[in-house]
Homo-oligomer: A and B are copies of this chain.
Amino acid sequence: MSDRIPTQIPDLTLRFATEADVGIILAFIKELAEYERLSHEVTADEDTLRASLFGGRRVAEVLIADLRTAPVGFALFFHNFSTFLGRPGIYLEDLYVKPSMRGQGIGTALLSFLGRLTRERGCGRLEWAVLDWNEPAITFYRNLGAQPLDDWTVFRVAGPALHALADRV
């Protein structure tokens, strides 16, 4: 496998996922959803992931962390855009490290690489969302210098409400 990105952790490398990784990406998404107690929200399958991540119009990118040749974690991200900065940012949708592999700096290695990518691509910010009960993650993120945007709330329209909105005018 080419284009392995070295880290300071022995035997740990990062790489951009390819279509051959769709199975492990879906497995990681399901493991993360289980940890977040949101398994009921997962409807993704290999076909939808393959189309979105490796089809004609790629909407997100995936980093895989390998310990030797075994995938132990991943980060899925895309570009957002700040009107105030007038330039794009990086939004980290999912960050996951297998439970048995935590505490070794694998999550930090993934986030630090994303920080470098944010800078190299001329983006102004690296952002992500955290569940409010997930104290271990919040402590981890604060220790890396991240700040919570406590005065903002995300709103969502989906399902029947989306159809009602779409058909309104």
Q: Which positions in A face B, CB cutoff 8 Å?
A: 7-8, 26, 29, 32-33, 38, 41-45, 48-49, 51-52, 59-60, 76, 78-88, 91, 93-94, 105, 108-109, 111-113, 115-116, 118-119, 124-133, 138, 141, 144-158, 161-169
Does the CB pair B165–A115 fall under 8 Å? yes
Does the CB pair B124–A158 fall under 8 Å? yes
Does the CB pair B154–A127 fall under 8 Å? yes
**A131-B152, A141-B155 in contact; A84/B43 too (CB < 8 A)?**
yes
Q: How far is the CA of A151 from the CA of B1 in the complex (A)?
A: 40
CB distance from A122 to the nearest CB of B (A): 9
**A86-B44, A86-B52 in contact; A125/B81 too (CB < 8 A)?**
no
